[in-house]
Every structure is written in structure tokens, then in C-alpha cells.
Amino acid sequence: MVSPKNLVSGSKVGIIAPAKKVSRQDLEMAIHILENWGLEVELGKHLFNSYNQFSGTDAERTEDLQNMLDNPDIQAIICARGGYGTIRIVDKLDFTKFMQSPKWVVGFSDITVLHCHLYNLGVESIHGVMPLLFPKQTEQTIESLHQVLFGNSSKLDVRPHLLNRLGIAEGEMIGGNLSLFANTIGTSSEIDTTGKILFLEDVNEYIYHIDRMMIHLYRAGKLDNLAGLVIGQFTEIKDNEIAFGYTVNEVIEELVREVNYPVCFDFPIGHEIHNLTMICGRRAKLSVSKEEVLLEF
């Protein structure tokens, strides 16, 4: 995997919105913080456009992202927010110039499809907090993005969970939002999960739908030969009037009950206020013990 260059004071970063619409006011805090890190911020031409729920038409959103991919002066592309829409434009992008000088791409949730696509191109990317959410995040969340962008070591230590499966695993980190990861199957963005550490999170889904998507991964063989599995936060989860009868963690635990790799639950990644930064494609070591869960990149 190719690791893009670390940022330094004076680096230029671009902000674009490949999915749902966003306003200038939404981004003020994040822009201020990025500038305080010593970064020069360039906004996409169509960043504040509006077309139905999207931040501009597919063509406009594609143009903004393509311009940032091609611009040699931009050293990181930060997605302003998720929502829905990146999957509509990913196949319209040309990564030829990007591959000549890879740069960090930052985001999560709907941006998962872009992380998967970049993984298949052999380039690492950053699953981390997006500008829209800066006002709602813990200081540690924002600082974890800061540290990774500037090349400092990343070591995440969290509390154990009763459903954890103990063990040690090493492999490249892949994954992100469950809905988007499942939707890459059968496309050019699909990832071979063999020997990888897979991490998953999601938001605003019904439990039965999470069950259906996890069974999809299971039937597609995506859970068979993992090195390890990291289950993040599943937020604003809904149930039917007649209860499904399982929690999200119970749904997943049942599917991986017979596996021989380590599994950890409630890892701080996802749509909660504590959303630590992950490096997609980076080799990592996952240690799950009775006392703690340690993830080292």
C-alpha cells in the first residue's frame, strides 16, 4: 500500500462534498481548526451548491472531487460530510493524476465506498471525522485526525466488552460503514477480505436490516478468512413494532461464534461523539484481551 505524504505546516487541503448538501456556516469551526493546525484550506467550486438533497448535481460533485484529485498543490482531500451520494459518482472519477502523486482522502460513513475504491488502487486513506461534525465531537476525536494527518503514531486503547473474542491479529485495516461496504460487493470497489482486519459501523438502521446485511457478508464469504473483526458504534438503531429479538451486537456475535480470529465490540468509531481515526489500508495489530483492546497502526 502507498501511504500519502504527511501534512506539515503550510500544506494545502481541499474540502469538497461528494454527497449531501452543506452550508458555509456548518463548516466554520472545522475551517478555523484546520487553519490553526497551520493548513491552507481551499474550498471546492461547487461545495455549497444544492440539488435536491445533494451538494450539487452528480456532474458538479464529480468535478469538485476530480479537481482536487488532479491538483498537485492539494495534499489532502477532506470530505465535508456524508449522507448519500458518493457511490453515484465514484465510477465517474479518473485517478490517473492522483496515482502519480497520491494524497490523503478523509471521511467516513458514505465515504466508505471511496475508501474501498482507493484500497483497490493500493493507496491508504483516512476514516475519520468530517468538518460538519467537528462541533459535536470530543477533543480527542478531532486530535486523533490531527495526529494521523501529520504522521504521528496511532495507538488506540479501549475498554473490553463481554462479547469480545480474545486473541491477537495482524493485517491491513479495511471497512467502514456496513451499508456501503455491503453495497460494494459485485462492483469494482469490492475488497478481498482474506487476511484483513475488518471494521464496521452504521447509523439509523433497523436491526433486521443490519442482520440482513451481515448475513449478506457472511454468505459472500467476507467473514470467513478475516484476520480480525472490529465492531464500532451502531447509532440511532430502530426496531420493528414486533421486536426483532436481538441487539446489533448479538446479531453479529451469532454469525462469528465459530470463527478463530479476535473480535471486539463497541469500538469508538462511527456516528457517536467519540469517533477515533482509522487508517484504511494500513497494516495494524489488534490485541483483544480480558483487560483491554489495543489497536496499533
Taking 80 as the threshold, does the pLDDT of residue 13 lie above it? Answer: yes
pLDDT single digits (tens) 121-130:
999 999 999 9
Residues in the chain: 297
Phi, psi at 80, each rounded to 5°: -65, -35
How are beta strands 293-296 and 155-158 bridged, if at all? antiparallel
Q: Hey, which residues does 175 pair with through a beta bridge?
A: 199
Which amino acid is present at 97? K
What is the rounded CA–CA span in Å between residue 128 and residue 149? 10
Mean pLDDT value across residues 271-282: 97
Mean pLDDT value across residues 252-278: 96
Q: Hey, which residues does 41 pair with through a beta bridge?
A: 13
Given CATH 3.50.30.60, say whether it is the number of domain 155-296.
yes
Torsion of CA 178, 179, 184, 185, to 10 degrees: 80
Q: Is 127 helix (H, G, I), strand (E, B) or coil?
A: strand
The reported pLDDT for the residue numbered 266 is 96
pLDDT above 70: percentage of residues in the chain: 100
What is the rounded CA–CA span in Å between residue 130 and residue 127? 9
What is the rounded CA–CA span in Å between residue 225 and residue 242? 35
Mean pLDDT value across residues 99-123: 98
The reported pLDDT for the residue numbered 127 is 98
> Right CATH number for 12-149 from 3.20.20.450, 3.40.630.10, 3.30.70.20, 3.40.50.10740?
3.40.50.10740
What is the rounded CA–CA span in Å between residue 198 and residue 171? 9
The reported pLDDT for the residue numbered 91 is 97
The reported pLDDT for the residue numbered 116 is 98
Q: How far is CA 269 from CA 4, 149, 171, 178, 245, in A?
A: 22, 17, 18, 12, 25
Residue 216 cell numbers, joined: 449478506
Work out the pLDDT band at 197, boundaries 50, 70, 90.
Answer: very high
Instruction: Give Cβ neighbours of residue 55 (< 8 Å, ≥ 6 apart).
Output: 17, 18, 19, 20, 21, 22, 46, 47, 48, 49, 61, 80, 85
Q: Is 111 helix (H, G, I), strand (E, B) or coil?
A: helix
Taking 90 as the threshold, does the pLDDT of residue 29 lie above it? Answer: yes
The reported pLDDT for the residue numbered 154 is 77
Could you tell me the residue ranges of all domains in the chain?
12-149, 155-296
What is the rounded CA–CA span in Å between residue 117 and residue 90? 8
The reported pLDDT for the residue numbered 155 is 87
Taking 90 as the threshold, does the pLDDT of residue 188 lie above it? Answer: yes
The reported pLDDT for the residue numbered 153 is 77
